[in-house]
Structure 1
Amino acid sequence: MAPVCIAIIGLGGVGKAFLNQLATLKLQTTSRPVVIFASRSSKQIYTKNYDSVDATTVDSSSSPLLSLSDLTTYLGGAPGKVILVDNTSNQDVANAYPSFLRKGISVVTPNKKAFSSNMQLWDDIFNSTSPSALVYHESSVGAGLPVISTLKDLVATGDQITKVQGVFSGTMSFLFNTFAPVDGSGKGKWSEIVSQAKDAGYTEPDPRDDLNGMDVARKCTILARLAGLKVAGPDSFPVQSLIPKQLESASSAAEFMDKLPQFDGDMESYKDNAAKAGKVVRFVASVDVAANEVKVGLEMVEKDSPIAALKGSDNIFVFHTKRYSSSPLVVQGSGAGGEVTAMGVSADLIKAIERLS
């Protein structure tokens, strides 16, 4: 039996962690996967004969660069089954998924853009699969947490999803757990906590990429679609940005951070108003299937709620369903970071290999 061939795009933080995990996969099959292609930025490594390659040596490779179209053709000619592992957040790669799938090439990825862009791409991806091509994207929401698989299982077994809500961002979780903890011990100013999160690597290099709420909105879009809602995209429902209007045009992250202290009072007001009501403020995502409503933004939540009780940068996903009506199903834990994201990718890869073998 020909081995399952693996093509890897993206060898950054998640990609490096994935390579380390790939070497130690515990498979219920005797056939080990063989890496035949790897790429990072402007370097690729592969052979004309589909020989095994060492992805860690890609920087010294002299292989001619293949376009996405050329890569589709190349992988389509490989012996045996092929799985493309896309560890990027690249829109162009995501747009190429239907072409890969039509060639019988399976896709495993944490790329949110593939599943949260326009509905046409979503439909093309899931209508393009041949019997020999699979799509797994657990890590596109919640990193390694079993969020997508849980939702799919609930739907597939006939449960009725009424609402999915929670804190879907490790960055937002850290910011508000620090700024407005349940015990009221938060003393730092909002801008100071954002700066602390940036220095600790909890935010993107430009914190505005987290504070605009679009990362959470993309996750909401994916979950909403899986729950049965026809959501056009992450810009089709209310998303509250935490970037002050006056700073939206800041020329750089440095300028944004320098001016952010001028607006600390706005966030302080949110926190104070919540405290007066005996609650805490959190950045909450909500997919209300029953009401056909999706929204992302600040909410005052009860102090004894699972959402308020989060620690550090943990994510929480609360599933309200017909079966879980009296007590919701809760998935909680680290929802960001290279190692846990790669774990979700690796777990999906194992599922794909075992189904294809």
Structure 2
Amino acid sequence: MLVLKFGGSSVATSENLKKVQQIVKDQSQNNTVSVVVSALGGITNQLQECATQAAKGDEGYKDKLVEVEKRHLALCNDLLSVQKRSETLTRTKLLLNDLEDICRGVYLIQELSSRSLDHILSYGEILSAGIIADFFKSSGLDAKFLDSRELIKTNSRFGKASVDFSISYSKIRDQLSKPSQVSVFPGFVASSKEDGSVTTLGRGGSDYTAALIAAAVQADELQIWTDVSGMMTSDPRMVNNAHPIEHLSYEEAMELSHFGAKVIYPPTIQPVLDADIPVHIKNTFEPDENGTLISREGPEEGEVVKGTSSIEEIALCTLTGSGMIAVPNISSRLFGSLSRQHVNVIMITQASSEHSITVGISLEDVDRAKKAISEEFAYEIENHKINPLDVETGLSIIALVGSRMKKQVGVSAKLFDTLSHNGVNVRAIAQGSTELNISVVINKKDLKKSLNSIHEAFFLSDRKKLNLFMIGVGNVGKVFIDQVKAQQEYLSEKHHLDVFIAGLANSRQMYFDEEGIDLDNWQALMEEKSEKMDHQVFLQNMQELNLRNTVFIDSTASEDVAKLYQDVLESSISIVTPNKIACSSDYKTFKKLTDSALKYKSKFLYETNVGAGLPVISTLNDLIKSGDQVHKIQAVLSGTLNFIFNNYDGTKKFSEVVKDAKAAGFTEPDPRLDLSGKDVMRKILILARVSGFEMELNDITNNSFVPDECMNTDTLEEFYDKLDENEEVFQKLYKEAADQGKRLKYVATYEDGESETGLEAFASDHPFFNLGGKDNIVLFYTNRYSEQPLVVKGAGAGAAVTASGIFADVMKIASA
């Protein structure tokens, strides 16, 4: 025999019920089938509201009853032909009349007992089961209606009655011993063995009914048909990539269900577990999909972690105090007080010092729990032996479940590492010696990010999603966006990396889309849907979206944006930036940023601060981390100045060459920054700091070659005019070098704790002589490279190479 249970969504409409009928027909071809059905989707809630309104003396309950009646009568008309619907309509109408009478009684006396509520709620299943049984018969199935109230006997604890298994199993077996192809039972309902009063089986009651029937007759399989294709690896409402689990053990299924997986309810499994009957979770709307099989033994091979489950709202209650240490019965008293108030404990954690006990409970139980514990320990609290109960709310719990975790080293480490790298603080931890479940309590605001991060780490370990937020969509920013757009498909297919830009901003506007901005249309979206740019609001939005694997990119030269870095890193968000302001500010700020990146498990990458896309800083870091020591750095670090002096030969005015460099995108928006040498000073300062030397910008000697009157101008036009007035100065510099067969290069040098920048002439035997175009070159003299320096050379300016350097840093974070 097979037992099939169909939930409220499966029986919600006539169209859905036609799918149910086909499933039952297919399953009954080679098997005797018992079908357990829930109330029509949403009806139980309507009946609950109806009863509550009636008890308050609110005549609105009548409108609810009319809605319930219309829905059931419409279902009869949709499913049954005119010739066959009369009897069903009559019986349905009589049941609805009885329901109306009971509700009117509640309305008149304005009192709703648990017994009356059970009676009212029972009508949902009784009505649906009767209509469905008649529909099955009318479609040619050998079907009969069996009243669960006559078969399942309980005590008189209304609302959540306890089943008498011996009596119930005997009655079920007797009834099902009579041959019939299909038997239809209403779920959820039962009756008191004492006086026959209607009782209900509580939450998950229809599943429980099906499990009781399956266990009573030793069914071959219990099938639970619902609107999802089995139990999922995570909550699909929060994790888009969640997928069905093919096979679970009973214990794994119960753990997942206990922590919020809604497909089944834990008590459902117990009768079939005792009887060793497999449970199959199937999708009514996708019947050919495999679903999830639950049996005594899960598969020997497969994922170590089977799934994650969560409860969105919990509270932590913590009892602390020196009066608890080595005192017997503290735990017994604590849990006894909660038990007497019917408070369910979700998790428990206690330090070995015995100074504290923490329990996790449902948010709805907080007031009762606080009152119970405070009264139980009133004497100890009054005498300061135990502190008043500490209650924390705004929390969620995540459970990692898998029977094979016991045999696998490093599962906990991977879990906590994943959470820490995404800035998620764990408030409490619980893990039993069976290692079937690792539970962590986190802030509710981190739940979605945590579930996605954990799911990615354990179930999609070969895939990763990166969420980028960028301020600055000028020359470099636009090229970077184009590069991301061009590489998205390749990275997804070849490297299983999904890169999305979730936030963009310039000096005027900012725009966000947590699903990823459409990069084909980003400029129009910024114009149409953006909000006014505010640096703090941009930071706040990025923090509140709270996406996993977030990277903040600053492609500006703004000091205000650089001031955000500390808050960004403390939010465990990584930073990639070509903006040199932060790294070349005072040493204390630089050190605080690098230390914060370590402390908050984020990355602070600024490769493009020096040499645009060249691997200068990464090469230097590799040297230092591997134990080498830098003695001297000599470098041409301005692609702009190298371009200018490679193109200035006295035949064209110096100002015109500077304008050419600006037009080619090689200079800062204001070329005076490049020509002042301050940009080069910042770069050599950063290299010195990365080398391990504490240095400030004013420690560097700047030997400027541009006359002060050129630099002290108010506008660029005035600046260019002053360059023309001083053309003789530049002609002289060029001629003196050329006469010696040398070439001019603007050089930064660090050696023995001292640093300077300035224009120098180099002969043909020096590596700098043939440095062409906008290229940069860095010579590292170290313990290992003492005679012949380590040379890093290549294009050091331009939007494309800078954007590619930013992209390379982003990829480093992705692969970390």
Aligned residue in 1 for 2:470: 8
Is 1:106 the counterpart of 2:586? The answer is no
In structure 1, how many angstroms separate the alpha carbons of the residues matched to 2:475 and 2:738? 39
Cα separation, 1, equivalents of 2:480 and 2:552: 13
In the alignment, structure 1 residue 153 sits paired with structure 2 residue 614: no
Match of 1:214 among 666, 673, 678: 678
Is residue 117 from structure 1 mapped to residue 580 from structure 2 by the alignment? no
In 1, are the aligned partners of 2:467 and 2:548 still within 8 Å (CA)?
yes
Distance 1:103 1:238 in 2: 37
- For 2:498 and 2:668, locate their aligned partners in 1 and report how far apart those are by CA, in whole Å: 36
Partners of 1:90 and 1:60 in 2: how far apart? 22
Structure 1 residues 340, 201: CA separation in 2 closer, same or farther (over 3 Å shift)? closer
Q: TM-score, normalised by structure 2?
A: 0.40
Tell me how far 1:165 sits from its aligned partner: 1.2
- Deviation readout 1:83-121 (Å, 9 max, x if unpaired): 111111111111111101111111111111121112232
In structure 2, distance between residues paired with 1:70 and 1:200: 34
Alignment correspondent of 2:502: 36
Offset at residue 11 of structure 1 (A)? 1.2
Aligned match for 2:564, one of 89, 96, 99:
96
Q: State percent identity of aligned pairs.
A: 37
Matches of 1:83 and 1:192, distance apart in 2: 40
Q: Is the contact between residue 166 and residue 316 of structure 1 (CA under 8 Å) also seen in structure 2?
A: yes
SS at match of 2:611: coil
Shift of 1:261: 2.9
Which position in structure 2 is the counterpart of 1:60?
527
Residue 70, structure 1, aligned to residue 537, structure 2: yes
Match of 2:710 in 1: 247
Q: Which amino acid aligns with 2:633?
A: V
Determine whether 1:261 maps to 2:724: yes
Deviation at 1:275, TM superposition (A): 4.5
| CA-to-aligned-CA distance 1:158-201 (integer Å, 9 cap, x gap) | 11111111211111101222336xxxxx6445445334444544
Q: Please list the CA deviations of residues 296-321 of structure 1 after superposition, one character each: whole Å capped at 9, or x if unmatched.
A: 10123222211111111211111111
The CA deviation at 1:277 is 4.9
User: Is 2:632 the partner of 1:171?
Assistant: no
In 1, the alpha carbon distance for the partners of 2:467 and 2:670 equals: 37
Where do 1:344-355 residues align within 5 Å? 344-355=805-816
- Aligned-partner Cα distance in 1 for 2:665–2:548: 41
Compared CA separation, residues 132 and 54, structure 1 to 2 (3 A): farther
Residue 204 of structure 1 and its aligned partner are, at CA, apart by: 4.1
Offset of residue 31 of structure 1: 4.1
Please give the residue correspondences for 1:305-324 in structure 2 after superposition, counting only pairs within 5 Å: 305-324=766-785
| 3-state SS in 1 of match to 2:692 | coil
Distance in 2 between residues matched to 1:197 and 1:9, nearest whole Å: 25
CA–CA distance in 1 between the matches of 2:662 and 2:799?
16
Structure 1 counterpart of 2:757, from 287, 296, 303 = 296
Size of the aligned set, in residue pairs, is 345
Provide the residue aligned with 2:429 in structure 1.
Answer: none
Structure 1, gaps ≥5 residues long:
181-185
In structure 2, the CA distance between the partners of 1:125 and 1:197, relative to structure 1 (3 Å rule), is: same
2:689 is the counterpart of 1:228: no
Secondary structure of the 1:282 match is: strand
CA drift of 1:43 comes to 1.3
- Report the equivalent of 2:484: 22
The more displaced of 209-218 and 18-27 is: 18-27
Checking the alignment, whether the CA contact within 8 Å between 2:612 and 2:796 is kept in structure 1 is yes
Q: Distance in 1 between matches of 2:533 and 2:737?
A: 54
* Residues 66-86 of structure 1 deviation map (CA, whole Å, 9 limit, x = unaligned): 633333333233132211111
- Structure 2 residue matching 1:304: 3-state secondary structure: coil
Conservation of the 8 A alpha-carbon contact between 2:779 and 2:791: yes
* Partner SS state of residue 758, structure 2: strand
Question: Match for 1:35: what amino acid?
Answer: I
Check conservation: 1:142, 1:335, Cα contact below 8 A. yes
Write out per-residue CA displacement over residues 264-316 of structure 1, whole angstroms, 9 at most, x where no aligned residue. 3323333344455553332111122xx11111101232222111111112111
| C-alpha deviation, 1:135, in angstroms | 1.2
Identify the structure with the greater helix proportion. 2
d(CA) in 2 for partners of 1:336 and 1:243? 21
> For residues 113 and 317 of structure 1, do their structure 2 counterparts lie closer, same or farther at Cα, with a shift above 3 Å needed?
same
User: What is the distance in 2 between the residues matched to 1:38 and 1:201?
Assistant: 22
- Compare 142-151 and 278-287 and name the one that shifted more: 278-287
CA separation of 1:265 and 1:168: change in aligned 2, threshold 3 A: same
Report the Cα distance in structure 2 between the residues aligned to 1:58 and 1:42, rounded to whole angstroms: 14
Shift of 1:247: 2.7
Stretch deviating more after TM superposition (117-126 or 72-81): 72-81
In 1, the alpha carbon distance for the partners of 2:701 and 2:556 equals 27
8 Å CA contact retained: 1:169, 1:335: yes
SS of the residue corresponding to residue 92 of structure 1 reads helix
Residue 569 of structure 2 contacts residue 600 of structure 2 at CA under 8 Å; is this kept in 1? no
Q: Report if the CA contact (8 A) 1:10-1:87 is conserved.
A: yes
Partner amino acid for 1:171? Answer: T
Shift of 1:33: 2.6
Residue pair 2:580, 2:609 contacting (<8 A) in 1 also: yes
For 2:477, the aligned partner's letter is G
Structure 2 match to 1:238? 701
Give the letter aligned to residue 786 of structure 2: S
Give the structure 2 partner of residue 183 of structure 1. Answer: none
Do the aligned partners of 2:508 and 2:533 also contact (CA within 8 Å) in 1? Answer: no
Please state how far the C-alpha of 1:241 moved relative to its aligned partner.
2.5
TM-fit CA distance, 1:334: 0.9
CA distance in 1 between counterparts of 2:601 and 2:685 reads 27
Q: Distance in 1 between matches of 2:500 and 2:506?
A: 18
**CA RMSD of superposed structures (Å):** 2.3
Relative distance call for 1:266 and 1:215 in structure 2 (3 A) is same
Give, in whole Å, the separation in 2 of the partners of 1:270 and 1:212. 16
Measured after TM superposition, the shift of residue 217 of structure 1 is 1.0
Residue 280 of structure 1 corresponds to which residue in structure 2?
A: 743
Q: Which has the higher contact order (CA 8 A, sep 6+)?
A: 1
Indicate the SS of the match to 1:32: strand
Q: Residue 684 of structure 2 aligns to which amino acid in structure 1?
A: C
The code of the aligned residue for 1:344 comes to: G
Contact 1:87 1:110 (8 Å CA) reproduced: yes
Contact 2:510 2:538 in 1 (8 A): no
* Aligned-partner SS, 1:297: strand
Q: Give the Å deviation of 1:147.
A: 0.6
CA distance in 2, matches of 1:65, 1:10: 14
Shift of 1:133: 1.1
Return 141-150 or 272-281, whichever deviates more: 272-281
Is the CA contact (8 Å cut-off) linking 1:280 and 1:302 kept in structure 2? yes
Q: What is the TM-score of this pair, normalised by structure 1?
A: 0.88
